[in-house]
Amino acid sequence: MKKAILIILLILAILILPVLGGSMIWVLGGSDRLDINGTAQVYGRPAASIDVGDGWPAYGGDAGGHRYSKVDQIGVNNVKELTIAWQYQTGDMANRPAAMWRTASQGTPLLVENSLIFCTPFNEVIALSPGNGRERWRFDPQINLEQEPANQFICRGVAHWKDPSSIAKCSSRILMNTNDARLIAIDARSGERCQSFGVNGEVQINPGMELLWPGEFQITSPPVVVRDTVIVGSAIGDNARVEAPAGTVRAFDVRSGEARWDFDPIPRDESNPATETWKGAQPPKEGHANVWAPMSADEERGLVFLPTSSPSPDFYGGLRPGDNRHANSVVALDAETGELAWSYQTVHHDIWDYDLPSQPGLYTVWIDGRARDVVAQVTKTGFVFVLDRDTGEPVLPVEERPVPQLAADGESLSPTQPFPVATPPVVPISLTPDDAFGITWFDKQACLKWINESNFEGLFTPPSEQGTLLFPFTGGGANWGSAAFDPTRNLLVINMSIMAHHVQLFHGYEFQDMRKVFHDQEVSPQAGAPFGMKRETLLSPIELPCNRPPWGVIAGIDLATGNIVWRKTLGTTEDLAPGAGRKLGTPNLGGPIITAGGLVFIGAAMDNYLRAFDVSTGKELWKGRLPAGGQATPMTYQWGERQYVVIFSGGHARLGTTLGDAVVAFALPD
């Protein structure tokens, strides 16, 4: 009944709402609109200086996460001719129908050993022929489907390693992390287990403490390989307790699986200089600060770059006074030893769940005629930090600014937070009653009441018993889809969501009563802290966001200056309310890629499309219909005389997009 009402109201909205052009965005939550129609500059550098874009051998295109391809057969003048070249079904919809409602299909294939190799949400690894999508082999680790994973069943990708001195079995291998916390090595040519790796081709990752339930600890992002070391992060359920599993990053010998080193972002040894930023119990009792998002690697420097998350629990930090380094930080480690090279914190003393959610981008940016190796980190808050790759010092300026200080009893806030100066936030960071949205008067009034009754003094307003708005919400801004970088234009392309969360603290002894009353919402105990928490997305009675659209954008940023060159709406309501699709933008999960043909390809939005944008202007040039949600990052390659663009079209259960199990390849007509 509610969906029928939503459809009717959205149809009415076609007559009521103003037209929002693809280049319009509400700036900083105010009533003014900004139309950015800039053009990305092409830098006249020799092609030989661009050493990325050959094939797709790593999750982010290359180890540094460029998501850029030199292939240019498909360009701005012929992209409208794209059609489906082939489609492959994994079989999950038929074979695991009950479990599909706990999945998010986020995998990006690799092109290695003349095969497209990807993982399904259930950690099956499948190899396909790049030219026709026919299955070559598949490997099933038979994960535990009863584990109730905290973060759904997810496998974003796999890693590849090859021994150049050998052609023996497993000299070329695929490495995969699993939802039940294993690291598995299989032969890249046959899909058979590499028996010399660990026990029967796998290493079981020990979370270090007893779990509250089997799915509290899982691994969803791909490992990263640097030389002969494979490095693994983890994904851990949030807000259950203070004394939670540690966010330890672990490294293993890529041949044998033997442990090499581990790194806990939270200092447990008083000799660690970061200890002085943890002024609570020593050693700290808190867990997490884990690396659940993809990592990146600089093989020449021998460094691995970690995007760390918040300590446990997310929304109360009174037991851990101080900045809490190296949580919420870009951390560079020596890949061979695990020793800290440098660390840069983007959020001090996080109590907003503002993890670093995306792969650090390792790019070479041309500034004032000089090449500069940088790390570009996009964030949930909509900020872009650009750091020197050797030192971690900001390349584009960052300043500490005062932030709201009225917090819950016992909390210990940082008086300031880091704000990039050159690049304004890509999404609004302010939400006022004037920004309340509704497609009817009644709908808008409900949102207006909610905003008026909530505590919000701007970004970094602390959670409260009254109820606080988090804007952007904890899903971003940016998320795990990360960014793409065009090295010929200095242009970073990033997609972001624009929604709000309402977070309310309550006394710990009230947890059972709160869970009974709000049984259909997220209510967590934060056991060990004085407060539990309730979190919900700020939605109207008909389940539309309470902030005005667009609710999803994609932008191009010049990393030499920090200027936002263009910014456009991403997504329509077509598949949320068939027949009433509007270009309002939608929340999005998945990332962009860029090609030398001058195109940005992206799925991500809550409608079933793969889109192509002009990388110079952000103009949408094409969209191809998908059989299910495209909440994955695409990839591209040339096979024979033909360029293909491939995306996993499997949907996202929690986001509410169409579920499926297809890998879809687009190409120009043969």
659 occurs within a structural domain? yes
Region 603-611 average pLDDT: 97
Region 487-491 average pLDDT: 96
pLDDT class of 4 with cuts at 50, 70, 90: very low
Give percent of the chain above pLDDT 70: 92
**Average pLDDT across the chain, whole number:** 92
The residues, any chain, with a CB within 8 Å of residue 15's CB and separated by 6 or more, are none
d(CA 557, CA 377): 13
Reply yes or no on whether the pLDDT at 20 is more than 60: no
Region 131-148 average pLDDT: 95
pLDDT class of 647 with cuts at 50, 70, 90: very high
184 occurs within a structural domain? yes
Give percent of the chain above pLDDT 90: 88
| Helix (DSSP H) and strand (DSSP E) numbers for the chain | 4, 42
d(CA 537, CA 539): 6
Q: What is the pLDDT of residues 292-336, one digit of tens each?
A: 999 999 999 999 999 999 999 999 999 999 999 999 999 999 999
Judged by DSSP in three states, 160 sits in strand
39 occurs within a structural domain? no
Distances (CA, A) of 164 to 227, 229, 608: 11, 15, 41
- What is the residue-wise DSSP string for 64-87? T---EE---SS-TTTGGG-EEEEE
- CATH number at 469 reads 2.140.10.10
- Catalytically active residues are 353
Q: What is the pLDDT of residue 54?
A: 83
Q: What is the pLDDT of residue 578?
A: 61
Reply yes or no on whether the pLDDT at 473 is more than 70: yes
Q: What is the extent of the structural domain holding 156?
A: 52-667
Q: How many structural domains compose the chain?
A: 1
Q: What is the pLDDT of residues 567-583, one digit of tens each?
A: 999 999 988 876 566 88
Reply yes or no on whether the pLDDT at 176 is more than 60: yes
Question: How many CB atoms are closer than 10 A to CB 209?
Answer: 13
Strand partners, 262: 250
Judged by DSSP in three states, 91 sits in coil
Which has the minimum average pLDDT: 29-38, 183-192, 355-364, 594-603? 29-38
pLDDT class of 43 with cuts at 50, 70, 90: low
Reply yes or no on whether the pLDDT at 660 is more than 70: yes
Helix (H) or strand (E) holding 452: helix 441-453
598 occurs within a structural domain? yes
Which phi and psi angles does 200 have, rounded to 5°?
55, 35
Q: What is the pLDDT of residues 245-262, one digit of tens each?
A: 999 999 999 999 999 999
9 occurs within a structural domain? no
Q: What is the pLDDT of residue 670?
A: 84
42 occurs within a structural domain? no
Q: What is the pLDDT of residue 640?
A: 94
Q: What is the pLDDT of residue 529?
A: 98
Q: What is the pLDDT of residue 40?
A: 75
pLDDT class of 53 with cuts at 50, 70, 90: confident
Reply yes or no on whether the pLDDT at 7 is more than 60: no
Q: What is the pLDDT of residue 36?
A: 57
Closest alpha carbon to 573 in 439, 433, 446, 435:
439
4 occurs within a structural domain? no
552-558 and 491-497 as β-strands: parallel, antiparallel, unpaired?
antiparallel
309 occurs within a structural domain? yes
Q: What is the pLDDT of residue 580?
A: 60
- What is the residue-wise DSSP string for 406-450? --STT----SEEEEESSS--SS-----GGGB--SSHHHHHHHHHH
Reply yes or no on whether the pLDDT at 452 is more than 50: yes
Q: What is the pLDDT of residue 581?
A: 66
For residues 313 and 351, the answer to whether their CB atoms sit within 8 Å is: no
Reply yes or no on whether the pLDDT at 12 is more than 70: no
